Structure 1
Amino acid sequence: MLRQALLAASRSVGARRIVNTAPFGRDVVRRFIAGETIDDARRVTEELTAEGLLVSLDVLGEDVQGARQAARTTAQYVELLEGLGAAGLGTRAEVSLKLTAVGQPVDDALALENARLVCSAARSASTTVTVDLEGFSTVRSTLLTVQELRRDFPETGAVVQSYLRRAEEVCAELAFEGSRVRLCKGAYAAPESVAFTDRAEVDKSFVRCMKVLMAGKGYPMLATHDPRLIDIAGALAVLNGRDADTFEYQMLYGIRPQEQLRLAGQGSQVRVYVAYGAEWYAYFMRRLAERPSNLGFLLRSVATRA
């Protein structure tokens, strides 16, 4: 119930206004969001990579309303990537791209064209792009776009959400040599006919998907903060004879930072998902929905500022 309420709030103009104007709002958001500018993103990237971590940067600007807005977001990605390349950060930081930010709501062909521009800029910066998976209604379109991108940019990463009932099947299709696949639980609302709604079932699906990816020939990117799932991932790496550089853990910026450093200190590849930009509200609320215990942090902040 709480998760559904938070997802509903992510679409509420009134709730957004409250978070934007509340005295505590921006202080809380800074725990999860790097800032609003490219300079903010670069600063956080430099801090994290100096600690031995990898980074995936997300320019927040989903659900564009037209081709011009999609072009602006695309240009922001290109500018970000040019900066990463110039700073020599391309080997440590990639970008995560939401197709809804570069034209998918307008036209799939437009999103593909803009995504190609981002992938080309990433290659010039010696880095890669992972195409995020979003709401269940866009899954097929997004995976088809990734397939097209991989014709020219085979290093492009795909995403699978374990809360979707077909997740294990999709993982099997993507677990081939050279295929980069991020596995996450998923933070979007979906009907029970296509998605697991029970948390335990989502976790079980995550484990089944990990087994497929870790036994495959691709490069798994395991996005979870759950200690149990992290332990299982480590065991699967041993079982399948995987070296530390053949897969990675991924965690959100601001969530379990000490665990990120602990894993990296053990020699694991750990990538931190860092979002930035003015359009941070929907992302922030979905992060709370994905891990409702984060709501306690917000409530404690309200109490101390009141």
Structure 2
Amino acid sequence: METRELRYFVAVAEELHFGRAAQRLGMAQPPLSRAISRLERRLGTALLQRTSRSVTLTGAGEVLLDEARAALDAVEAAEHRVRRAALAAAGRPSVVLATKAGASTELLAKLLSAYAAEPGSIHVDVALCGPGEQERLLRTGRADVAILHRPYDETRGLDVEELLTEGQVAVLPAGHPLSTHGALSVHDLAGVPDLPAPRWPGPDGAYPAGPGPEVHSSTQLLQLVSLGRTLMVAPDSVRAQLHDDVVAVPVADAQPVTTVIAWPPHSRSRAVADLVRTALRL
């Protein structure tokens, strides 16, 4: 299979609509349909179930979608890592660390300071990401190492070291009735009428339906909380970023969050190894 065919299939499998997939790929629909049909004939199985009203994945199609995404990520990662290797050979070495904007701020500052003091340290480019983006940057080679947070980020297929496990807190507007509680439960936070849950964009950039405000960063979300428009559930370490206009209350039954440092399993980067060792000593 060619990477072009895999890109075609992934677009159709994600859109489940040949017209939208063709528009996304910048091509006409008939050649896209023919390319998918040729791929199915070569594999000897149907990848998609087509009717006049819908397109759905078969079992084989679901398998190929997972494999195709991984293969395309690997190709993109190879391209980015080769380019960075060329820059290093030209005397401009660097390592890219991806992390969610507004998350693990204190940990990140300590890590960068401690690593900079290490003999042989090189420049660290910090890529501040939106929700879930840091994992994608790592898998596609745009980042060499990342700070991820379980259970929100997927670490399957990556090498990881755990750095910190902590409980979660509800961040509420100061003066809200719930802000005076010593602790809350997940049930207490479900459907609070005057504080609808925030809506984050999905992988396609679209926001789910709902009454809560659309948000795209933790900084924006904190401001909306302080204005009394929504609430926020976050790891306990978020307390270091809070001002007097919001209050953090422990959520006793919320799933703990584990912060990890992650890198590709085939990495041979000395800088990545040094960053990981430095993180483990913090």
Q: Normalising to structure 1: TM-score of the pair?
A: 0.26
TM-score in terms of structure 2 length = 0.28
The structure number with the bigger radius of gyration is 2
Q: Which has the higher strand share?
A: 2
The structure showing larger relative contact order (alpha-carbon pairs under 8 Å, at least 6 residues apart) is 1
The structure in which a higher percent of residues are helix is 1
